[in-house]
Chain A
Amino acid sequence: MKRIVGVLGIALAIGLSGQADAQTLKTVRDRGALICGVSQGLPGFSNPDDKGTWTGLDVDFCRAIAAAIFNDPTKVKFTPLSSKDRFEPLKSSEVDLLSRNTTWTSSRDALFNFAGVIYFDGQGFMVRKALKVNSALELNGASICTQTGTTTELNLGDYFRSNNMKYEVIAFGSADETIKAYESGRCDAFTTDMSQLYSERLKLSNANDHVILPEVISKEPLGPLVRQGDDQWFDVVKWTLFAMLNAEELGVSSKTLDDALKSKQPEIRRMLGVDGTYGEQLGLTRDWVVRIVRHVGNYGEVFERNVGASSKLGISRGINRLWTKGGIQYAPPIR
């Protein structure tokens, strides 16, 4: 019985996923709030603070979209989703977008639309110093703790196979269990995205006894994604990210915004809607970028606040710097 229902459900899910609501922007406006799928708790990306307010890079991106649509970053409702069950709610229109540190891959893009890359991540390893391992290539025969239902597990297999090394995977349901298992000696190494290695290291009782190995074994471009079949909404989400990047590139931050509005630079005038109607073309308002930057900030501000040097995680910008500063973050121009 269970199997029949399951098969039926999957068949229907596949059959119906194509005809998702094609007017998300209108739905969001009518509802008066954006519904955003976020992680159930990922330090620096989405986690509730002491007052119960969601904070983090992924969360701030949702707030930026709300700011662009409503001129009010608080008009977002967060639906915290686990890594296993993150796609069904997006498919069934329970959420308007997924901003949940999801790696952009071809198979996922075949089912959804990725709006860009908010954080270029990569998978790394953490080991005990006492193990005297200096490179991931020395991990032959190691047992490795990881989290189930993520691309991490697959990358691990690829890396060890292509280097002809043996390994043993011990997989857990949540990040907390994984790091505790590693700490208690269940496995020799702990693997996950680099950004998380830093935050998980905060939870170890002698953080200095553990090292993060230099190898980055995979590309993990993390980005927000939406349903297929709604180009307007796709554009809104995509250009919210581009607007945050462009604002940083042009030196417009929440602090310099008022001066920037008086700027003579044509690029800044176009971006802030002083000249032209670029926001209206996207289905938003003329001052959409002003709203985003005023309420949430540009990409650099959001990065620093949540995961960068001024946060507990202290992750350096690395390849997430703008292309003008040696990184690979690049946004098409607003014009």
Chain B
Amino acid sequence: MSATFVREQLVAPMEQPRSNVGTPAWLQQKLFGSVLNTVVTIISAVIFAALVWPAIRFMLIDAVWDGSSRVDCLAETVGRPVGACWPFIAAKFAQFMYGFYPAEEVWRINLTYAIGIVLLAPLLIPPVPYKVLNAILFFGVFPVVAFYLLIGGVFGLPHVETRVWGGLLVTLVITFAGIIGALPIGIVLALGRRSSLLLVRWFCVIFIEFWRGVPLITVLFFATYMLPFFLPEAWKLDPLARVLIGVILFAGAYMAEVVRGGLQAIPRGQYEAARALGLGYWKMMAFVVLPQALKLVIPGMVNSFIALFKDTTLVLIVAIFDLLGQLRASFADPNWATPVTLLTGFAFAGMIYFAISFAISRYALYVERRLSTGVAH
């Protein structure tokens, strides 16, 4: 009996082959797995280095950090090649952020941002409760509060004309208003375009095709300089308001087509099942079709929003200075006219645009993954 060999302990697991674990293995497999891979890796590395190294040199190593005028950013004064002229950004920073908003009233903008963040953050973090209340506060109450806080003229706040708004403030106001306004308009138009009522359908088709057929720059120009000819004096709208309406209608038309794409992707069975349960048109749309359709088109919507965010720069042609407009105006200051001013300014604006766009797109990706758990379409 004792001769029978029965193993009483498990053999200790052997280590993975060295060629399979750790960074070297990863590098070997992913980057240098085949001849083609190796070639592509090397070429990419060369391109990367050729682009990134000069950027780092320009923005950090050769950059000038202190100074009070153009003289401090000239190669003659510094005695070496000069990279970014950061004192220029520092001197103009308030203008880039707030435009010509009176300095003693800037706290109102900051307060608006703070309220916005306090309301938005819990809305974006899924586990936080009271989503409905939160959404009402953010999408319904916040725009009103922000409006009065920024414009003033109530509760003893001095009135600040939209003419002096500028910089990132205008960029964010237009984007935010565009997103909040475009989504409901887009949904209504998309539903209307698929409606069986001929008149409704035709109206929506014409509306969408008109706004998609006209370039945004034309819309803005028309709204700002042509409407005053048609409208009586008393109807004169604030220039920024005119631009906002133009942007909302424009973005709404695009949003409509995005949403329609989602509606078309929902199988017929879903509609029929909803009907069979006795749901009317609106309930069917609100509880069965739209939740699925909107989830499907999140990438498309985010795409539109990011495009809208960057399209706001077009308002420069109607004499409203967004971030980029403010930047261009400050290039004209002879006090800061240097060879690197232009590059510094654009590098700075690029970083801001990138940071915001990237944040939006990463968050959207996160939402998309969360919503599609266990669902395969």
Taking CB atoms and an 8 Å cut-off, the chain B residues in 328-362 that contact chain A are: 328-335, 337-342
Number of interface residues of B (CB under 8 A): 44
B317→A82 contact, CB < 8 A: yes
* Segment with Cβ contacts to A, from B52-60, B135-143, B221-229, B364-372: B221-229
Partner of B213, one of A2, A92, A176, A312: A2
Consensus secondary structure, chain B interface? helix
Q: List B contacts of A174 (CB < 8 A).
A: 328
* Segment with Cβ contacts to A, from B29-37, B89-97, B192-200, B273-281: B89-97
Q: When each residue 153-185 of chain B gets 1 if its CB lies under 8 Å from chain A and 0 otherwise, what string results?
A: 000000001010000000000000000000000
Q: Given A2-B213, A92-B225, A312-B335 in contact, is the A48-B328 Cβ separation under 8 Å?
A: no
Q: Given A52-B95, A93-B228 in contact, is the A47-B333 Cβ separation under 8 Å?
A: yes
A94→B225 contact, CB < 8 A: yes
Indicate if A197 sits at the interface (CB-CB under 8 A): no
A48→B225 contact, CB < 8 A: no
A174 CA / B317 CA spacing, docked (Å): 12
Q: Given A43-B333, A47-B333, A79-B163 in contact, is the A205-B339 Cβ separation under 8 Å?
A: yes
A140 CA / B321 CA spacing, docked (Å): 40
A1→B221 contact, CB < 8 A: no
Q: When each residue 21-62 of chain A gets 1 if its CB lies under 8 Å from chain B and 0 otherwise, what string results?
A: 000000000000000000111111011111110000000000
B337→A199 contact, CB < 8 A: yes
Q: Given A52-B100, A88-B225 in contact, is the A203-B342 Cβ separation under 8 Å?
A: yes
Q: List B contacts of A312 (CB < 8 A).
A: 70, 334-335, 337
- The minimal Cβ–Cβ distance linking B76 to chain A, given in whole angstroms, is 9
* Segment with Cβ contacts to B, from A8-16, A64-72, A320-328: A8-16
Question: CB within 8 Å of B: which residues of A?
Answer: 1-2, 5-6, 9, 12-13, 16, 39-44, 46-52, 77, 79-82, 84-85, 88-89, 92-94, 174-176, 180, 183, 199, 202-205, 311-313
The 8 closest A-B pairs by CB, nearest first: A41-B332, A205-B339, A202-B337, A312-B334, A47-B332, A88-B225, A41-B329, A43-B334
- A/B interface sample: 24 pairs, CB < 8 A: A1-B213, A2-B214, A2-B218, A5-B222, A40-B319, A41-B328, A41-B330, A43-B332, A43-B337, A47-B332, A49-B333, A50-B91, A52-B94, A79-B163, A85-B225, A92-B226, A176-B328, A199-B334, A203-B341, A203-B342, A312-B70, A312-B334, A312-B335, A313-B334
Question: CB within 8 Å of A: which residues of B?
Answer: 70, 75, 91-92, 94-95, 99-100, 103, 161, 163, 210, 213-214, 218, 221-222, 224-226, 228-230, 239, 316-319, 321, 325, 328-335, 337-342
